[in-house]
């Protein structure tokens, strides 16, 4: 393999990683609490499929755009907590932590709020609310879903269940 071919393969790999990074995706961390990226936050079909009706956005974007984008996805303004923050090791998320955790508590489903410990692997949906009842699932996202939003979810779970890191 010559140098030119190696460079082409490297560039192709980088392009695939960026394409994957910006593809809408979300994952349920615990029943009723989802982690995702910015693309997932305004995909109405994904939000409905996962029964998400509240969002925490951690991004350095203009609120005007964000507000109209999530409203178009069916999330009303009062169910959207937006924290303007950058993806940087110097960004202080701690100053927002209590407000964000309180918001998640206000928006979460009664079934989620009644959990007294982290669900174990193999948790079955039959243990949660029936599909006939509204499930107030919450999506926490940042741009790519790999730094700010996982930090908030970890902090929230630590607070909720009284566990240490």
| Domain CATH code at residue 73 | 3.90.190.10
Asked if the structure places residue 47 within a domain, the reply is yes
> Residue 39 domain-assigned?
yes
How much is the pLDDT for 118? 83
Residue 137 located in a structural domain: yes
Q: HSE (CB half, 13 Å, CA atoms) of 21?
A: 11
Q: What are phi and psi of 135, to 5 degrees?
A: -110, 115
Task: Domain of residue 45: give its range.
Answer: 25-119+127-161
Helix/strand/coil for 104: helix
**Cα Rg, the chain, nearest whole Å:** 18
Q: Give the tens place of pLDDT for each residue, 25-34.
A: 899 999 899 9
Q: If pLDDT is split at 50, 70 and 90, which confidence band does 130 have?
A: very low
More confident residue, 57 or 134: 57
Whether the model clears a pTM of 0.85, i.e. scores above it, the answer is no
| Residue 111 lies inside a defined structural domain of this protein | yes
- What 3-state DSSP class applies to 131? coil
* 10 in a structural domain: no
Domain assignment of residue 83, yes or no: yes
Name the range with the highest mean pLDDT among 13-27, 60-74, 109-123, 147-161. Answer: 147-161
């Amino acid at each position: 393999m010559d140098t030119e071919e190696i460079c082409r393969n490297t560039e192709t790999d980088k392009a695939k990683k960026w394409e994957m990074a910006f593809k809408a995706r979300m994952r349920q961390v615990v029943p009723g609490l989802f982690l995702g990226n910015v693309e997932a936050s305004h995909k109405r079909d994904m939000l409905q499929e996962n029964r998400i009706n509240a969002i925490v956005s951690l991004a350095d974007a203009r609120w005007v755009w964000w507000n109209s984008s999530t409203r178009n996805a069916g999330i009303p303004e009062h169910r959207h907590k937006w924290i303007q923050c950058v993806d940087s090791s110097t960004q202080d998320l701690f100053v927002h932590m209590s407000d964000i955790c309180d918001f998640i508590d206000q928006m979460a489903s009664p079934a989620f709020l009644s959990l007294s410990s982290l669900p174990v692997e193999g948790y079955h949906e039959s243990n949660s609310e029936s599909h006939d009842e509204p499930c107030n699932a919450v999506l926490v996202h940042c741009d790519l879903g790999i730094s700010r939003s996982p930090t908030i979810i970890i902090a929230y779970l630590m607070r909720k269940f009284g566990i240490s890191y």
